Amino acid sequence: MTPPAEQRDERILGFLEGRELVPVGELAEHLGVSAVTVRKDLDRLVRSAVIERVRGGARLRSAEEGPLAERLGQRVGAKRAVARRAAELVGADAVIVIDSSSTGYYLALELSDRTDVTVVTNSLRVASQLAERNGPAVVVLGGTVRRTSFSTVGFPAEVLRGYGTIDLAFLGVSALSPEQGLLERSFSEAETKRAMASAAQLVIGLFDSSKASGFGQHAVVPATDVSRLITDDEFSEADAAPWRALGVTVDRALQGNSRS
Which residue, among 121, 123, 147, 117, has the nearest Cα to 135 in the 3D structure? Answer: 117
Give the pLDDT confidence score for residue 180 in this predicted structure.
93
- pLDDT of residue 257 exceeding 70: no
What would the mean pLDDT of 184-212 be, rounded to a whole number?
A: 92
Smallest Cα–Cα separation from 87: which of 68, 103, 63?
103
Q: Collapsing DSSP states into helix, strand and coil, what is residue 80? A: helix
- Tell me the C-alpha distance between 17 and 248, whole Å: 32
pLDDT > 70 in the chain, percent: 87
pLDDT tens digits for range 141-194: 988 888 777 788 887 767 777 677 899 999 999 999 999 999 998 888 899 999
pLDDT at residue 166, as a whole number? 92
CB 138 within 8 Å of CB 127: yes
Q: What is the mean pLDDT of the chain?
A: 85
CA distance to 9, 22, 34, 61, 80, per residue, from 232 (Å): 18, 26, 32, 22, 9
Alpha-carbon 5 to chain mean position: 20
For residues 5 and 99, give the distance between their C-alpha atoms in angstroms, rounded to a whole number.
Answer: 27
Q: What is the reported pLDDT for 63?
A: 41
Task: Give mean pLDDT, residues 12-41.
Answer: 83
Q: Buried b vs exposed e over 141-171: b needs ≥16 C-beta within 10 Å?
A: bebeebeebbbbbebeeeebeeeeebbbbbb
Please check the confidence at residue 36 and state whether its pLDDT lies above 80: yes
Instruction: Say yes or no to pLDDT of 40 above 50.
Output: yes
Does residue 62 have a pLDDT over 60? no
- How many CA atoms lie less than 13 Å away from 126 in the CB half-sphere? 31
Which helix H or strand E contains 7, and what residues bound it? helix 5-16
In this prediction, residue 203 carries a pLDDT of 98
